[in-house]
Amino acid sequence: MIDYLIVGCGLAGISFAEEALQHNKSIVVIDNDSQNSSKIAGGLYNPVILKRFSEVWEAQSQLVTMNAFYAQLKPKISQQFDFKMPIVRKFFSIEEQNNWFAASDKPALSPFLSTQLHCKEYQGITAPFGYGEVLHTGYVDTASLLESYRNYLTANNWFRQESFDYTAIIFEEDAVRYKDIQAQHIIFAEGFGLHANPYFNQLPLDGTKGELFIIKAPDLDLDVIVNTSVFILPLGNDLFKVGATYNWKDKTDLPTDEGKNELVERIQEIIRCDFEIVSHFAGVRPTVRDRRPLVGTHAVHDRIHVLNGLGTRGVMLGPAMAKALYNAIENQIPLNKEIDIQRFVNKKK
């Protein structure tokens, strides 16, 4: 018997897998590559919602958990995946500058917003009003992280690449069986694939499609991430990741002309040099209407659990939410009501 069968090997799945392994629990992870939002994600970690100058929910504690989590992963991963890099917001007016400095006086935001105007000139960008710098930021190369962690799981015989068959679950008195696996618990971390899960598909997971580019811009020189209406993230060799769009209606992972035109228009608002689109990606983020994750235990079957709804902030949210779910299962520490799936179950009563 194993302790945990984990369904899904995106950011949510590997976060719980590593949390379990750190507590010497036995695991098997199943994934069929049907969900790609974690792989193509921008991967930014940023404690501030720059559109509204507001703090990300529980940003301080999430950053602490995230930094410890990725530090403990590094010995297991074959290449660098965590890059500390400033995020700067380009100002388009004196009014935006004033709004920034007003926000930096707020107690919740003061640890994250620099009060020094960032005035460095970057080749390819005209910014007469300068930039505001967000502190404690960077990005995770999610594709490299997920590939390397899957290789680590595979090397230890903890990974199976296959589609999950929900009809093969058998609930036993002291365990749950799936085909040849007997486990204490099953963790469903399937991203947008949750809609096919008969045990949790009643939860209000409302996927949001995002499209991103990799562009080549030899005349653009950045050592920071520029984040305004889109982010521009330097990858080296004149390559930059750019994103992202938000589409609440289209639930496919196919790039569109609409998304392409939107990204091109927004890039041209920020930079003043030519660029070439090298790659165009799309994926459906697992988002929730109240902007909180979906974490918890099934109302009837207490050995199956869900870890989902990380949305656009999976690199920050994943480790903290995995820790919360693990502690709820193993140590009976109640989940925060804001993330507990019971918030939706209770509304129906």
- Rounded distance between C-alpha atoms, residue 223 and residue 243, angstroms: 17
Distance in angstroms between the alpha carbons of the first and the last residue of the chain = 36
Q: What is the mean pLDDT of residues 297-301?
A: 97
Strand pairing report for 2-7 and 181-188: parallel
Q: How many residues are listed for the chain in this entry?
A: 349
- Rounded distance between C-alpha atoms, residue 138 and residue 66, angstroms: 12
pLDDT band at 268 (very low <50, low <70, confident <90, very high): very high
Query: With 60 as the cut, is the pLDDT of residue 32 above it?
Result: yes
Residue closest to 267 by CA, chosen among 299, 230, 322: 230
The sign one gets for the Cα dihedral 253, 10, 279, 270 is: positive
- Specify which residues 291 forms β-bridges with: none
Q: Dump pLDDT digits (tens) for 79-125.
A: 899 999 999 999 999 999 999 999 999 999 999 999 999 999 999 99
* Percentage of the chain modeled with pLDDT above 90: 91
Transcribe 85-146 into DSSP letters.
--EEEEP-SHHHHHHHHHHHTSTTTTTTB-SS-B----TT---TT-EEEESS-EEE-HHHHH
Q: What is the mean pLDDT of residues 113-138?
A: 95
Which residues in 219-252 are b (16+ Cβ under 10 Å) and which e? ebebebbbbbebbbbbeeebbbbbbbbebeebee
- Rounded distance between C-alpha atoms, residue 198 and residue 184, angstroms: 20
Query: With 90 as the cut, is the pLDDT of residue 4 above it?
Result: yes
Please give the structure tokens belonging to residue 340.
């507990």
Query: With 50 as the cut, is the pLDDT of residue 316 above it?
Result: yes
Query: With 60 as the cut, is the pLDDT of residue 339 above it?
Result: yes
**What pLDDT shows up at residue 347?**
56
**What pLDDT shows up at residue 187?**
98
- Rounded distance between C-alpha atoms, residue 3 and residue 187, angstroms: 10
Q: Which residue has the tokens 């709820």?
A: 328
Domain ranges in the chain? 2-41+143-204+289-348, 86-136+208-285
- Rounded distance between C-alpha atoms, residue 282 and residue 248, angstroms: 13
pLDDT band at 272 (very low <50, low <70, confident <90, very high): very high
**What pLDDT shows up at residue 346?**
59
Enclosing H/E stretch for 5: strand 2-7
Q: What is the 3-state secondary structure (H, E, C) of 19-51?
A: HHHHCCCCEEEEECCCCCHHHHCCCEECCEECC
Q: What is the mean pLDDT of residues 323-338?
A: 98
Transcribe 68-96 into DSSP letters.
HHHHHHGGG-SS--EEE--EEEEP-SHHH
pTM: 0.94
CATH superfamily of 2-41+143-204+289-348: FAD/NAD(P)-binding domain (3.50.50.60)
Q: Dump pLDDT digits (tens) for 281-295.
A: 999 999 998 999 999
Q: What is the mean pLDDT of residues 142-163?
A: 96
* Percentage of the chain modeled with pLDDT above 70: 99
Q: Does domain 86-136+208-285 have CATH number 3.40.309.10?
A: no
The two domains 2-41+143-204+289-348 and 86-136+208-285 share their CATH topology (first three levels equal): no
Q: Dump pLDDT digits (tens) for 42-65.
A: 899 999 998 888 899 999 999 999
